[in-house]
Amino acid sequence: MKGFQPLFLGIFGIFGFSWLGMTVVPNLQIGSLNPQSDEEGTDIYPQPLSGMAARGAQVYAANGCFYCHSQQVRPDYGGSDLERKWGDRRSAPRDYIFEPVVFLGTMRMGPDLANVGHRPVLQEAGAATPAPSASPGAAAGASPAPAASPATGTSPAPAVAAATPATASPAPAAVAAASPGASPVASPPAANPPAGNASAAPPTMVAEPKELTDDGRPLPYTAAWHHRHLYNPRSVSEDSNMPAYRFLYEKRRIGGVAAPDAINFVGDTGNAPETGWEIVPSYDARCLVAYLMSRNQSHPLKEAKAAATTAAAPSPAKEVKK
């Protein structure tokens, strides 16, 4: 056996070298970062996710969203992420310290989502419309629900919302459900970090007053828009190849008052349920949207201002360790 000591030692040594170099040493460098805050210890970023958003991350993982959507913004020299308005600065290690699951992603069959919870603000601020969204108007004209199920809309069977009748029925109920007064209720789980502080709230604060377009359809990246998009991606983005997640929604008869978070089908008669029925998100769907609305790396970071570095200098901030 003696002659093989070098072989064994070599095999272990080489692997140990890689293990130390690629996992242990980097972990010493960026494995215990603290949130950043200002001198008074306020304006803390990042903050842990809300319970619903954290559960939403599990839904995101379970359905493999991360195989097509990355969550990292590269610097200006590394691609056109910034030009595509996927963020206003590059991502840094500190952005991820509270993430329950880190979905960096390796594929962009769908757009990057690192800042999808922040985009309503970008829009509100008059920034260029984010490229990825086909303008909601595109699908508005009662697009014939591409390849969906043009089932004869007769069976009122309360089955799963598999075959949504394609017969035109503008469904007044759905309109009611989508009235401006009602829809903000859908968004509270969105971006409210538990340790609420003034500056962490811009997405909701700005998004709240304006959730709908003038003709009653949800604006892109609002909670109502996400639900409609998840329920049928091609109703808001005509040539999307994202799968629909109708199994995260329930079709039910409207009892008395329409549910406040029922999907807003205004301008999308092809998918709307018959009169007297509504499509409501399951708890998982609401968690998923809460998670999406929590995707926001817009807060400035010291280390990510300069385009070139991801320095991991320990923040001088006070310890707010998770």
101-130 residues in contact with another protein (CB under 8 A) are 101-111
**Shortest distance in whole angstroms from residue 256 CB to another protein:** 28
For residues 11 and 205, which CB has a smaller minimum distance to another protein in the complex? 11
Options 97, 178, 259, 287; binder of another protein; rule CB under 8 A: 97
Member of 43, 48, 88, 99 binding another protein (CB under 8 A): 99
Q: How far is the CB of 198 from another protein (least distance, A)?
A: 25
Taking the C-alpha atoms of 35, 40, 43 and 46 in order, what is their torsion angle to the nearest 10 degrees?
10
- If the CB atoms of residues 4 and 283 are measured against another protein, the closer one turns out to be 4
Single residue of 41, 42, 51, 62 touching another protein by CB under 8 A: 62
Q: How far is the CB of 229 from another protein (least distance, A)?
A: 13
DSSP code, position 92: -
Site for another protein (CB under 8 A): how many residues?
90
The span from the CA of 295 to the CA of 59, in Å, is 15
Site for another protein in 135-194 (CB under 8 A): 146-148, 160-162
Assess 132 for contact with another protein (CB under 8 A). Answer: yes
Q: Is 228 in the site for another protein (CB under 8 A)?
A: no
Position 233: which residue type? P
Specify the residue, 105 or 203, whose C-beta has the smaller distance to another protein. 105
Judged by CB under 8 A, does residue 87 bind another protein? no
Least CB distance to another protein at residue 219 (A): 18
Residue 224 C-beta: closest distance to another protein, Å: 21
CA distances from 175 to 113, 172, 185 (A): 29, 5, 15
Cβ proximity to another protein: between 182 and 219 the closer is: 219
- CB contact set of 17 (below 8 Å; sequence gap of 6+): none
The binder of another protein chosen from 115, 237, 264, 294 (CB under 8 A): 237
Q: How far is the CB of 320 from another protein (least distance, A)?
A: 14
**Nearest approach, Cβ of 102 to another protein (angstroms)?**
5
Neighbours of 88 (CB within 10 A): 14
The answer to whether residue 48 forms part of the interface with another protein (CB under 8 A) is: no
C-alpha 296 chain-centroid distance: 9
Which stretch in 48-56, 184-192, 219-227, 239-247 sits in contact with another protein by CB under 8 A? 239-247
Question: Does residue 310 touch another protein according to CB under 8 A?
Answer: yes
**Does residue 57 bind another protein (CB under 8 A)?**
yes
Q: How far apart are the first and last CA of the chain?
A: 50
Alpha carbon distance 134, 215 (integer Å): 17
Side-chain-side CA neighbours of residue 25 (13 Å): 7
Residue type, 278: E
Q: Which of 175, 242, 317, 320 binds another protein (CB under 8 A)?
A: 242
| DSSP one-letter code for 20 | I
Contacts by residues 251-257 (CB-CB < 8 Å, ≥ 24 positions apart): 251/158, 251/159, 251/160, 251/161, 251/164, 251/277, 251/278, 251/279, 252/158, 252/277, 252/278, 252/280, 253/158, 253/277, 253/278, 254/173, 254/278
Radius of gyration of the chain (CA): 23
Alpha-carbon gap, residue 155 to 84, rounded angstroms: 44
Region of 24-32, 183-191, 258-266, 268-276 interacting with another protein (CB under 8 A): 24-32
